[in-house]
Amino acid sequence: MRKVFTLLFTLFLALSACTQTTTLPDTTPPDTTPASDKVRIGAFNIEIFGPTKVGRTNTLTVLAKIASTYDVLAIEEVGSNSSTALESTCITVMDTYVARINQIVGSDSYAYVRGNQYAIVYRKAEFSVVSSGLYTGSQSFTYTPLTAYLKSTTGNLDFAMVVIHTSPSMATMEIPALKTAMSEVATLYAEPDVICLGDYNGDGSYYTEGSGSDLAGFPSPTYITTIPNSADTTVAASSNTYDRIELSSSMASDYDLTYGVIQIGQVYDVTTCEGTATTAGTESALSDHYPVWSEFYVDRDTD
């Protein structure tokens, strides 16, 4: 009888092991900032983020609340979705946006740097931007990326950043070119740690993302793909991982393996958000993309 019981118990354990699954991080982070030893860094394509959108009070407020949960947020489509907006327009949009974020958070908590259709919004208590400017390397991009070098004010984390919005029709050429751009920016800022993030258009009919979790062309361990191919970063009913965060391998000690996609309607009340006749009161009033994020330790940088 004991042998039968032992056999049945062993079989139960085996079946239990077979049914275990790996739990991925929650795709929707809480409406709070990270733990004190970590920072949240990410990207958000705020679809055609121009004067009309910042003039919509409720929509702007939700967009500002989203930014207030980040320590560094890279934004695409500032002014327009084609880099055609006037510099004065882009400055007005970002001044208005950051002012609203600071109204929500209190005092002069956030600042920004920008160029082309991009901006980097950052929490001043956590980071300083040592240098920034448009990419001037050997690769050609439809929308010239914004680059920057940031340093933690509370720990030893520092890194170079490349913010990108590829042209959908050129994604198959521009996404691979980002690897060279990352290398050149590392040399420019004399910093091996590089985060390349933004709207890659890295899926669907624009780019074959590959199998597994890593974005095709960015193999592990040379690169760290923090937003896996299984993630859905778009508001549309179809599932596509357009928005990405790629890291140089030297950031392995900094990345805490936590990432996510903010499914806006699950965290914020969008019912009063102004928009068009078809988007008002929905997530689409804010954007056709979701914000993406990854978290990093502030005190584990090894280079």
Give the pLDDT confidence of 181-239 residue by residue, as tens digits: 999 999 999 999 999 999 999 999 999 999 999 999 999 999 999 999 999 999 999 99
Count of helix runs (H) and strand runs (E) in the chain: 6, 12
Q: Token pair for residue 23? A: 């739990």
**pLDDT (0 to 100) of residue 28:** 66
Distance CA 33, CA 111 (A): 17
Residues 131 and 189 sit within 8 Å (Cβ to Cβ): yes
User: How far is it, in rounded angstroms, from Cα 192 to Cα 277?
Assistant: 47
Task: Write the CA distances from 6 to 99, 118, 168, integer angstroms.
Answer: 67, 64, 60
Closest-CA residue to 285 (of 29, 49, 32, 30):
49
- Name the amino acid, one letter, at 15: L
pLDDT at 7 over 50: no
| Tokens 């740690």, located at residue | 193
Q: What pLDDT is recorded for position 30?
A: 64
Q: Is the pLDDT of residue 283 over 50?
A: yes
**Tens digit of pLDDT for each residue in 89-111?**
999 999 999 999 999 998 899 99
Can you give the pLDDT at residue 159?
98
pLDDT for the residue 144: 98
Res. 248: pLDDT tops 90: yes
Predicted confidence band of residue 3 (pLDDT cuts 50, 70, 90)? very low
Tell me the pLDDT tens digit for each residue of 124-181: 999 999 999 999 999 999 999 999 999 999 999 999 999 999 999 999 999 999 999 9
End-to-end Cα separation, the chain, in angstroms:
62
Render 89-104 in DSSP notation, one character per residue.
Answer: HHHHHHHHHHHHHHHH
**Cβ contacts of residue 262 below 8 Å, gap of 6+?**
27, 28, 29, 66, 290, 291, 292, 293
Handedness of CA 177, 67, 81, 99 (dihedral sign): negative
**Domain architecture of the chain: domains with CATH:** 25-297 (3.60.10.10)
User: Are β-strands 255-261 and 146-152 bridged in parallel, bridged antiparallel, or unpaired?
Assistant: unpaired
DSSP letter string, 101-147: HHHHH-SS-EEEEEETTEEEEEETTTEEEEEEEE--SS---SSPPEE
Do residues 178 and 196 make contact, with C-beta atoms less than 8 angstroms apart? yes
**Phi, psi of 8, rounded to the nearest 5 degrees:** -65, -40
Across the chain, mean pLDDT equals 92
